[in-house]
Structure 1
Amino acid sequence: MPVRSQTAPPMWGKFNWRKFVRTTYAARVVAAGAVAALALAAAAPAQAARIPTADPGVSKTQIVIGTTTPLTGPASPGYMYVAPAAKAYFDYVNTNGGINGRQINYVYLDDQYNPALTKKQTNQLILSNKIFAMFGALGTPSHSAVVADLNRRGIPDVFVNTGSSNFDNPSKYPMTFPFFPSYVVEAKVMGYYMANDATLNAKKKCLFYQDGEFGDNAKIGFVAAGTTFVAETSYYSGQQVAPFTSQIAKLKAAGCELVVFFGVTSATAQMLGTAAKSAFAPTWMITSVGSDPSVVGAALGAAGNTLLKGVYTPSFLVPIQDTTNAYVSQFKVIADKNSLPWNFYTYYGLNTAYVLAQAIKAAGPDLTRASLINALQTKASTFRSAAIVPMLISAKSHQGLNGYYMGQYNATGQVERLTSYIMTATSATSGTAKQTTFKPGAPTSKLLP
């Protein structure tokens, strides 16, 4: 407010007119500000209720989902198909209207199964792509490098593609949900099956495993199952680019008649190829994540099916060759339309994306990270899936699938189911597997959530 006169009116005497004007004006401004502040404070709750603060990566029109996975590098054979298959399913959902009106924007980045690169790519997904959730991140050593940070940031870490039991820890990792049955459970199932098959039980058993949590989990399961081995050997991730000469020599020298292998598919191919050249032909039992015939065949050529014939392997999905099954036939249509090879990894990627879509739908139209976590913890048992084993997710355990049936490869490279029952167990360091029955529900209409 400008002051037009520099002389105070005579009747005010020595009264400080300038100070009065300044004080009065300031008081009015403060009072007006206080009134405005009170008005805003009163209105704030109502405004917040009308315009909620959205979590990153979700808007009225889209949901941003991210993945790190080995698209290149020594561990990529087989695994390179999982994320593209998931994208094919999400694209299928998008063309059919999305989920609660939102399109899924799926971003997957190559980490080469390298923990240092996993950190870099995860930061890009969080900081640049602004993901709502991490989905299907693949690999035990690679995901171990970022799981704590994802949980610290409150980012849902859904359906981790590894069987490491360390990720099922709701008190430590409340945002993380493994999908695979754990390697501990798989080892218990293998141990149970060997102990109850007279022919296998009589053989001299040996163990060949990948160093790190992968192999550590396997050993925990076998100890719990009471399985003993006359010899053990291992390889480190990335070593499979060269022949396993020393490992095979050790197993052969020990007189191993049954070798149980816990490793990735590219390592399986190297192991079988090296063993064949060394005239070493034991009975093989190979982990579910390391026995896809299309990948082994690509590495070994025409000898692939011959070397796989008779190999035992656990599985948890409806057999991929059963095209009369509604899940298999409909997933294959999506794979074919996207020119994806029809193998276990494509099949698995499609199925996992299908389950995530159901979880997002169950989280409701007002999608938040909290509502997704709640849907997983309270409704997972209702989600449909091509898995023929139960989904166990709850507030107390974030483990997804639990259990296996035992299969064996035939001459055409297909797994034939050997057990009419499935075997389940826990990831605890004690306790063995047991037989149980479980019948999966029929797929939703058109495989849409």
Structure 2
Amino acid sequence: MTVFLNRIAIASVTAFALLAGSSSGALAQKTYDTGATDTAIKIGNIMPYSGPASAYGVIGKTEAAYFKKINDAGGINGRKIDFISYDDSYSPPKTVEQARKLVESDEVLFIFNSLGTPPNSAIHKYMNAKKVPQLFVATGAAKWNDPKDFPWTMGWQPNYQSEGRIYAKYLLKEKPNAKIAVLYQNDDYGKDYLKGLKDGLGDKAASMIIAEESYETAEPSIDNHIVRLKATGADVFFDVTTPKFAAQAIKKAAEIDWKALHILNNVSASLGSVIKPAGFENSQGIISASYLKDVTDPQWENDPGMKAFLEFMAKDFPEGNKLDQSTIVGYGVTQTLLQVLKQCGDNLTRENIMKQAANLKDFRTEVLLPGIKINTSPNNFAPITQLQLQVFKGERWVLFGDVISGDVNG
């Protein structure tokens, strides 16, 4: 098995000296669970560094670089981050194996931003039975917002059903007579987007959606699905795929001259890992949605948050591709986690990790679009619920319209 293991050095004498300099009262109030000490916080992570979703592996690498940056500056509250990241190849059985290893052998305090709906679904019950936080999972499935039944699991990005409803709102307004063909991954990830689209279209879903095709991640190519969908006469193509297949879909649609309005889900809208490989000329007019700033958008040229991100990429992660939107995702979610850890102070128990994660008030990372804020509560485990539509023009995404809430009541 291919295993990507990134351990960041822990517990320096300097960090301990800083800690020792704090008051005796503060020292007396320190509370730890497994994975936390006076000098270190051990964090687990699972990423598809190989396999069909390997394009997302850069998220884990960005996080590792960010934690190293934090450690070099003295850590969080005087503690260094020991970040342990394993490869599961986007295979749920491997995810289970790696989660058990992280919790039972490595004894991490929690698992952070593990990627993918099927992989996270495979460890959902295990993490909650063990009462170990499964925090800010890197998937937008709606199921992560269920604090009543799964109080140890929380999402981060906008959920897929919300995003699907946003596209439905757009279509009902701009193309009410659309004939929609849907390609979706045959798992909870793909089905969540499809449900959101249908819920948003309401009574018109049955007449507007004229074709649905699902694909398996084990398929080497989805070209045959694209050919069949074009044959239906659809004039809107709703593309719910991961990056490898999204690039294939864009190229194949252009190759067979399918001129349908192409709506591409946010998680595959990366300029670096999808649009550029598919070809700028093939991607004109594609519509997607975003909640994060885009490094190619000139309006952020003098934005302090974007400047900080670009400085991080140049200094701390020079091997990374700043055009890959996954680097901004990794950057933003890590900043959110650091806020949680700051709020925890010296109470580094698993229970307090979840308590503080559920107590984020109007928090903004440096890379969220203006108007979008992170809010959580004991009854709301969906940190980000807003998006803004964007269209691909020339060599970049161009935002349009207002920030839209994808909440059922939004």
Task: Give the TM-score normalised by structure 2.
Answer: 0.86
Equivalent residue, structure 2, for 1:146: 123
Q: Distance in 2 between matches of 1:237 and 1:398?
A: 28
Deviation string for 1:70-102 (max 9, x for gaps)? 01111112x011011111111111111111100
Is the partner of 1:234 in helix, strand or coil? strand
Equivalent residue, structure 2, for 1:102: 79
Is the partner of 2:330 in helix, strand or coil? helix
Shift of 1:425: 2.6
**1:304-319 → structure 2 map (5 Å cutoff):** 304-319=279-294
Is the partner of 1:152 in helix, strand or coil? helix
Kept in 2, the 8 Å contact 1:391–1:401? The answer is yes
The letter of the residue matching 2:381 is H
Is the partner of 2:281 in helix, strand or coil? helix
Residue of 326, 331, 343 corresponding to 1:345? 326
Kept in 1, the 8 Å contact 2:30–2:346? The answer is no
Q: Distance in 1 between matches of 2:183 and 2:265?
A: 11
Shift of 1:368: 1.7
Q: Quickly say closer, same or farther: Cα 1:192–1:243, change in 2 above 3 A.
A: closer
Q: Distance in 2 between matches of 1:335 and 1:100?
A: 24
Counterpart check, 1:394 vs 2:364: no
Kept in 2, the 8 Å contact 1:319–1:416? The answer is no
Equivalent residue, structure 1, for 2:12: none
Q: Distance in 1 between matches of 2:29 and 2:336?
A: 30
Shift of 1:387: 1.9
Equivalent residue, structure 2, for 1:265: 243
Which stretch shifts more, 113-122 or 288-297?
A: 288-297
How many residues are matched?
371
Q: Distance in 2 between matches of 1:52 and 1:284?
A: 54
Residue of 366, 374, 377 corresponding to 2:347? 366
Is the partner of 2:166 in helix, strand or coil? helix
Deviation string for 1:59-78 (max 9, x for gaps)? 0001011110101111112x
Equivalent residue, structure 2, for 1:44: none
* Aligned-residue identity in percent: 24
Kept in 2, the 8 Å contact 1:72–1:112? The answer is yes
Equivalent residue, structure 2, for 1:439: none
Equivalent residue, structure 2, for 1:206: 181
Is the partner of 1:105 in helix, strand or coil? strand
Is the partner of 2:81 in helix, strand or coil? strand
Q: Distance in 1 between matches of 2:58 and 2:155?
A: 19
Q: Distance in 1 between matches of 2:398 and 2:303?
A: 15
Is the partner of 1:63 in helix, strand or coil? strand
**1:204-283 → structure 2 map (5 Å cutoff):** 204-226=179-201, 227=205, 228-239=208-219, 241-245=220-224, 247-283=225-261
Q: Quickly say closer, same or farther: Cα 1:376–1:243, change in 2 above 3 A.
A: closer
Q: Distance in 2 between matches of 1:51 and 1:151?
A: 27
Deviation string for 1:120-169 (max 9, x for gaps)? 11111112221111100100001100111111111111110101001211
**1:177-196 → structure 2 map (5 Å cutoff):** 177-196=154-173
The letter of the residue matching 2:245 is A
Q: Distance in 2 between matches of 1:148 and 1:173?
A: 8
Residue of 106, 109, 115 corresponding to 1:132? 109
Q: Distance in 2 between matches of 1:383 and 1:377?
A: 15
Is the partner of 1:127 in helix, strand or coil? helix
The letter of the residue matching 1:60 is D
The letter of the residue matching 2:379 is K
Kept in 2, the 8 Å contact 1:75–1:238? The answer is no
Deviation string for 1:213-243 (max 9, x for gaps)? 112212221222124312111212232x224
Which 5+ residue runs of structure 1 have no aligned equivalent? Answer: 1-48, 435-449
Root mean square deviation, CA, Å? 1.8
Shift of 1:411: 1.5
Shift of 1:416: 0.6
Equivalent residue, structure 2, for 1:32: none
Residue of 397, 402, 409 corresponding to 1:415? 397
Shift of 1:289: 0.3
Q: Distance in 1 between matches of 2:66 and 2:59?
A: 11
Kept in 1, the 8 Å contact 2:31–2:348? The answer is no
Counterpart check, 1:355 vs 2:340: no
Q: Distance in 2 between matches of 1:306 and 1:333?
A: 30
Equivalent residue, structure 2, for 1:437: none
